[in-house]
Amino acid sequence: MAFDRLSERLGSIFRKMKGSATLTEKNMDEALQEVRKALLDADVNYGVVNDFIADVREKAMGQKVLSQVSPGDMVIKICHDEIVSLLGSGDNDITFRLDGKPTVILMVGLQGTGKTTSAAKLAQLFEKKNRKSVLLGALDVYRPAAIDQLEALGKKCEPPVETVAERDGRSPVEIAKEAYQKACERHVNVLILDTAGRLEIDEKLMQELKDIQAAVPVDETLLTVDSMAGQNATNVAETFHKEIPITGLVFTKFDGDSRGGAALSVKKLTGLPIKYVGVGEKIGDLQNFYPDRMADRILGMGDIVSLVESIQEKVDEKQAEKTSRRLQQGLFDMNDMLAMMKQINKMGPLKGILRMMPNAPKVTDEQADQAEQMMKTTEVIIQSMTRDERKHPEMIKSQRKLRIAKGSGTSPKQVTALLEGYSSMKNQMKVLQNNPRMIRYLMHGK
């Protein structure tokens, strides 16, 4: 995930500061030198880093009664506020039209940045989170199979999203006009237009985008940039914005191994806010970008608000309610354990969940992958049990273990380990029996 390395470096610096009794000019300078190195290593723009360090130093040393302040806590608070400012404080979401006409969003960007995928992900986000009806417009008539890709992705949305596309040689401008007319006729809330990308920025590309903006009333023009591109992402944003009015950015591959510096630099250098980030390959893996929450993650504070929202959006409410009632009644068997694991899997990769939990243990990607594999193995073992065995795991003895292991492609030792884990989990669930509020929070996120 972007910022992982930066988060670890900053965490180490601030833990060291917390060991100091007071905040002095000396330990402040030492800490800020380390912060500076960490930011530069994260590929943050040199000028942005210098301004950031100067602002933090001025605000920290200007605080009153320094002897009564925890150095670590003070600097963390000031750094948090400055990072939020760098990322673009305030509401970065788009504003939907209220006059009954469709909100038109133009997706632009270079080829290979995930623009077409982001268009469909955005449609899914608007349907799920904002309860908006969406229509897609396929304006990329140059790239082979681009139209087919957008149509296929639109069908993966829940509910499916229709794509306006033509293969009769009409221009992107004409297709955009038709898509807007259909959106108006059908009273669709949002029209997302996926334009063609290029391997590099050229005059023809920019003129086509200008023509589309002139042909239909575009409300938002979102530039898709690749997080893995580093500072080049900032250069692309600056170049596009000079040619056409851009209202915001979509950073793709934010779950990858990028250092994150471009995201910390782009708002200050271009004035453009990051509005959405792609955090996975699935159609639902696009999130609103919240500067304050991202600052929390960077400084190791977690992001409990996003975690709760993820639970509310992705869990099966009926299944969660059923499991909640059983737990309140003191009931917990292998079926409940399986249901809970499936709910967790719906929320996405385990390492992503851990990042949103405050004070969560640090785990490597390898450890997270091992944990996810263990969960998959557990599911297979439980699914190899009979109904009675799932309801009454205590009946599983040697011969049954052998059969279950054979049916699940595992070993009797793994089956035994699962049973022991289940027994421990059941005892923990008994503690929750008399705390229905905690059960509801765990199962529903509210």
For 191-201, write each residue's pLDDT tens digit: 999 999 887 88
Residue 217: cis peptide before it, omega within 30 degrees of 0: no
Which domains, and CATH codes, for the chain? 4-87 (1.20.120.140), 103-296 (3.40.50.300), 308-444 (1.10.260.30)
Q: Tens of pLDDT along 91-116?
A: 678 889 999 999 999 999 998 899 99
Cβ atoms of 150 and 309 closer than 8 Å = no
Q: Tens of pLDDT along 201-251?
A: 888 889 999 999 999 999 999 999 998 887 888 889 988 999 999 999 999
Helix (H) or strand (E) holding 106: strand 103-109
Residue 20's pLDDT band, with cuts at 50, 70 and 90, is low
Mark residue 294 as left, alpha or beta (left: phi above 0; alpha: psi -120 to 50; beta: remaining).
Answer: alpha
% the chain with pLDDT above 70: 80
Residue 359's pLDDT band, with cuts at 50, 70 and 90, is low
Q: Tens of pLDDT along 265-281?
A: 888 899 899 999 998 88
User: Does 357 score more than 80 pLDDT?
Assistant: no
pLDDT (0 to 100) of residue 71: 62
What's the rounded mean pLDDT across residues 412-435?
79
Q: Scan for tokens 């309140």, then name that residue.
A: 328
Burial (CB count <10 Å: 0-12, 13-18, 19+), residue 324? middle
pLDDT (0 to 100) of residue 303: 47
How far out from the chain centre does Cα 395 lie? Answer: 43
Sign of CA dihedral 252, 257, 263, 266: negative
What's the rounded mean pLDDT across residues 42-69?
76
Lowest-confidence range among 5-9, 212-216, 351-355, 386-390? Answer: 351-355
Side-chain-side CA neighbours of 304 within 13 Å: the count stands at: 8
What's the rounded mean pLDDT across residues 171-184?
95
The candidate with the shortest Cα–Cα distance to 278, out of 258, 292, 296, is 258
Q: Compute the distance between CA of residue 78 and CA of residue 84 in angstroms, rounded to an integer.
A: 10
User: Does 358 score more than 60 pLDDT?
Assistant: no
Q: Compute the distance between CA of residue 435 and CA of residue 49 in angstroms, rounded to an integer.
A: 48
pLDDT (0 to 100) of residue 219: 96
Q: Scan for tokens 């205590």, then name that residue.
A: 394
Question: pLDDT higher for 412 or 297?
Answer: 412
**Rounded to the nearest 5°, which phi and psi values hold at 41?**
-65, -30
Q: Compute the distance between CA of residue 118 and CA of residue 150 in angstroms, rounded to an integer.
A: 10
Q: Compute the distance between CA of residue 378 and CA of residue 372 in angstroms, rounded to an integer.
A: 10
pLDDT (0 to 100) of residue 436: 57
pLDDT (0 to 100) of residue 66: 46
Average pLDDT of the chain to the nearest whole number: 83
Cβ atoms of 230 and 264 closer than 8 Å = no
Length of the chain: 446
Residue 65's pLDDT band, with cuts at 50, 70 and 90, is very low
Strand partners, 277: 251, 287
What stretches of 150-200 adopt beta strand conformation (E)?
163-164, 190-194
The greatest distance separating any two alpha carbons of the chain, rounded to the nearest whole angstrom, comes to 74
Distances (CA, A) of 22 to 36, 64, 75, 165: 21, 12, 12, 65
User: Does 369 score more than 60 pLDDT?
Assistant: yes
The reported pTM is: 0.70
User: Does 84 score more than 90 pLDDT?
Assistant: no
Q: Tens of pLDDT along 292-342?
A: 888 887 876 654 455 555 655 666 667 667 767 777 777 788 888 888 777
pLDDT (0 to 100) of residue 371: 78
Strands 274-278 and 286-288, by their bridges, are antiparallel
Q: Compute the distance between CA of residue 132 and CA of residue 249 in angstroms, rounded to an integer.
A: 21
Question: pLDDT higher for 83 or 20?
Answer: 83
Q: Which two tokens stand for residue 78?
A: 């000031």
pLDDT (0 to 100) of residue 160: 93
pLDDT (0 to 100) of residue 230: 79
Most confidently modeled of 72-81, 304-313, 371-380? 371-380
* Number of alpha helices (DSSP H) and beta strands (DSSP E) in the chain: 20, 8
